């Protein structure tokens, strides 16, 4: 099931086929034909990235010139997205949602949105496909604690990199 959000172009993709038995499960988190039907255009990812993080690690707010399809196959994250596209009808709006193993939710993030997340389980794996190759200098960023945005991260002392 596909749902729209308060941010233009940002989609919530729920479900995906899961086959369970006494051994565990098999899941199809992504099917290109179904995804393209929802997007209404072809989707070709050229790079897939994976990040492993521990509780209270905060990554972002990163702004990139490519679309992303994100998924958290292990653990739980609070995904926080900010529309920083000046020509967007939803400019400066914020979207927050828990995604992870428990709810099987994926997100489609259009180019130009600020993408960030904080780990709320003990550990988590965050995976994403992108439709353009990464090259140094292509990303921009916003401070996670920017007072103009006023994001409530629901943690007191996030673990950050120098970049973040």
The pTM is what? 0.92
> In the prediction, which pLDDT does 164 show?
77
Each residue's pLDDT expressed in tens, for the chain with a length of 164 residues: 789 999 999 999 987 778 889 999 888 888 888 888 888 889 999 999 999 999 999 999 999 999 999 999 999 999 999 999 999 999 999 999 999 999 989 999 999 999 999 999 999 999 999 999 998 888 899 999 999 999 999 898 999 988 77
Spell out where 2-122 has E strands: 2-4, 11-13, 18-21, 24-27, 47-54, 58-63, 68-74, 76-83, 94-100, 106-109, 113-119
Catalytic residue positions? 62, 128
Residue pair 38/31 in contact (Cβ under 8 Å)? The answer is no
């Amino acid at each position: 099931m596909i749902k729209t959000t308060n941010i233009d172009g940002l989609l919530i993709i729920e479900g995906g086929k899961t086959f369970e038995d006494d051994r565990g499960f098999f899941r199809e988190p992504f099917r290109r034909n179904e995804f393209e039907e929802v997007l209404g255009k072809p989707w070709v990812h050229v790079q897939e990235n994976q990040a492993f993080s521990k509780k209270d690690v905060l990554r972002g707010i990163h702004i990139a010139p490519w679309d992303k399809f994100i998924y958290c196959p292990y653990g739980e994250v609070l995904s926080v997205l900010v529309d920083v596209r000046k020509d967007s009808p939803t400019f400066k709006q914020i979207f927050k949602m828990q995604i992870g193993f428990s709810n099987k939710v994926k997100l489609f993030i259009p180019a130009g949105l600020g993408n960030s997340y904080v780990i709320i389980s003990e550990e988590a794996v965050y995976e994403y496909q992108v439709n353009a190759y990464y090259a140094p200098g292509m990303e921009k960023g916003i401070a996670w604690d920017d007072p103009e945005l006023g994001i409530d991260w629901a943690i007191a002392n996030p673990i950050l990199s120098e970049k973040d």
